Amino acid sequence: MRLLEERIRRDGRVKEGDVLKVDGFLNHQMDVELFAEMAREFKRLFEGCGVNRILTIEASGIGLACIAAQEFKCPVIFAKKTRTKNIAGDVYTAKVMSYTSGTLYDIIVSKEYLCSSDRVLIIDDFLANGAALDGLIRIAEQAGAEVVGAGVAIEKAFQPGGDRIRARGIRVEALARIKSMSEAGGIEFC
Amino acid sequence: MRLLEERIRRDGRVKEGDVLKVDGFLNHQMDVELFAEMAREFKRLFEGCGVNRILTIEASGIGLACIAAQEFKCPVIFAKKTRTKNIAGDVYTAKVMSYTSGTLYDIIVSKEYLCSSDRVLIIDDFLANGAALDGLIRIAEQAGAEVVGAGVAIEKAFQPGGDRIRARGIRVEALARIKSMSEAGGIEFC
């Protein structure tokens, strides 16, 4: 998606440790006009797939997921990262290793909100090693729901997550796929 | 806002410890059509206030904040709850005591995204003891930004947060204000 690639080139910054800092428009400050364009692109890509639930993970996927859900006219469910007293015991759960923080955590979704008749589109801001996406797929599988695909804003295609998940037969659409990046050399898209 | 009150009556459940469970439509599964109606109401309430930034806190405020931001045609900034390596060192920060989890945590906002010319509307899903809202106000104050007000979906008006923050001269608008609630007696609105 050219609009997103241009924005990444303009406002993204490559930091050491393969970090792409896009917190000016994607995952700290959020440009909702850009999100609306991205949501329309997800709708175009997954039109006719019968999506009736969007599944994401807190925190930075939620904004994009909600604006995408307006296109699909369906609710969003966000997986929570820890068990709080507001969540009942009856949950689907998966362990996820965070690339950003280097910690292992549980994600949970209440069994009330996903079931075997659901057709789930997973939305997230980033796909790199695929740990979060993999956890969300396992949550959907526990519910017996059909994962029609995953839509992510930015895929670091030089990291293994996207290809690994595609190899399992799950459709993954990234609006910007980064082939390589470096602090000195900038960003190259696929 | 009658639509929200009716939804709370229909789908909300009162649990022990003054917990109102609304995770079927507000803060786990999210009904984005309802969010759009709430966003229009925030726009009506804060029309003409010159809002150019919406500030919220991860995680459950983000969806509503993004949909409200579409009405105000401005970006959202969400305060993060811990320091991750994706956030630069130059941050505004405040300590917040979580009512839900009983823990003290830091919230941070990058100094890049809030400044003294900003007119900030704070959006969140819940207002009870006001700890999160108070933290967000302190963040905005550190930036020298003007807080034009706070819009929350649900205020537990029997808890002290809302009145305490209003007493400091900050406009607080809640779309549903709960006067009292109990597992046996249901929910009474103000």
This prediction has a pTM of 0.95
User: What does DSSP assign to residue B176?
Assistant: E
What is the tens place of the pLDDT at every residue in B14-27?
998 889 999 999 99
Please report the ipTM that was assigned to this predicted complex: 0.95
| Residue B118: per-residue pLDDT | 98
Q: At what angle do helices B62-72 and B32-46 cross, to 10 degrees?
A: 50
Interchain CB distance below 8 Å, B59 and A63: no
Q: Which domains does chain B have, with CATH numbers?
A: 2-189 (3.40.50.2020)
| In chain B, % of residues over pLDDT 70 | 96
Burial class of residue B142 in the structure, from the number of CB atoms within 10 Å of its CB (0-12 exposed, 13-18 middle, 19+ buried):
middle
Q: How far is A170 from chain B (nearest CA, A)?
A: 23
Provide, as residue numbers in chain A, all residues whose Cβ is less than 8 Å from the Cβ of B28. Answer: 77-78, 80, 86-87, 109-110, 113
Helix, strand, or coil here: B144? coil
Instruction: Judge whether residue B102 has pLDDT over 90.
Output: no
Interchain CB distance below 8 Å, A30 and B66: yes
Interchain CB distance below 8 Å, B32 and A69: yes
Long-range contacts of B162-171 (CB under 8 A, 24+ apart): B162/B127, B162/B130, B164/B130, B165/B130, B165/B133, B165/B134, B165/B137, B170/B137
| Residue B91: per-residue pLDDT | 93
| Residue B86: per-residue pLDDT | 52
* Amino acid in the structure at residue B136: L
| Residue A82: per-residue pLDDT | 75
* Residue A53 backbone dihedrals phi, psi, to 5 degrees: -150, 135
> Is beta strand B119-127 parallel, antiparallel or unpaired with respect to B146-156?
parallel
Do residues B155 and B149 make contact, with C-beta atoms less than 8 angstroms apart? no
| Residue A101: per-residue pLDDT | 72
| Residue B155: per-residue pLDDT | 98
> Is beta strand B172-182 parallel, antiparallel or unpaired with respect to B146-156?
parallel
Interchain CB distance below 8 Å, A36 and B66: no
Of the partner residues A17, A63, A77, the one whose CB lies closest to the CB of residue B76: A63
Q: Which residues pair with A20 in a beta bridge?
A: A14
Q: Hey, what's the torsion of the CAs at A141, A143, A147, A152, to 10 degrees?
A: -90
d(CA B165, CA B134): 7
Query: When comparing pLDDT for B85 and A177, which is higher?
Result: A177
Query: Which of A19, A23, A28, A113 best tests the B interface by mutation, with the highest count of B CBs <10 A?
Result: A28
What is the tens place of the pLDDT at every residue in A103-140?
888 999 999 999 999 999 999 999 999 999 999 999 99
| Residue that is written with structure tokens 């209003």 in the block | B166
Do residues A149 and A44 make contact, with C-beta atoms less than 8 angstroms apart? no
Average pLDDT over residues B38-47: 98
B82 pLDDT band, cuts 50/70/90, is confident
Average pLDDT over residues B142-146: 98
Provide, as residue numbers in chain B, all residues whose Cβ is less than 8 Å from the Cβ of A35. Answer: 66
Q: Which residues pair with B76 in a beta bridge?
A: A30, B54
| Residue B24: per-residue pLDDT | 97
Tokens of A13: 């910054």
| Residue B84: per-residue pLDDT | 53
Q: How far is B77 from chain A (nearest CA, A)?
A: 4
Of the partner residues A28, A62, A82, the one whose CB lies closest to the CB of residue B77: A28
Q: At what angle do helices B2-11 and B32-46 cross, to 10 degrees?
A: 150
Give CA separation, B129 vs B132, B135, B157, in Å.
8, 12, 9
Tokens of A50: 């019968």
Give the 3-state DSSP-derived string for B50-118, with helices as H, strands as E and coil as C.
Answer: CCCEEEEECCCCHHHHHHHHHHHCCCEEEEECCCCCCCCCCEEEEEEECCCCCCEEEEEEEHHHCCCCC
Print pLDDT tens along chain A (190 aa): 999 999 999 999 999 888 999 999 999 999 999 999 999 999 999 999 999 999 999 999 999 999 999 999 999 999 998 755 555 579 999 999 877 678 888 999 999 999 999 999 999 999 999 999 999 999 999 999 999 999 999 999 999 999 999 999 999 999 999 999 999 889 999 9
B178 pLDDT band, cuts 50/70/90, is very high
* Helix runs in A73-130, H state only: none
| Residue A189: per-residue pLDDT | 98
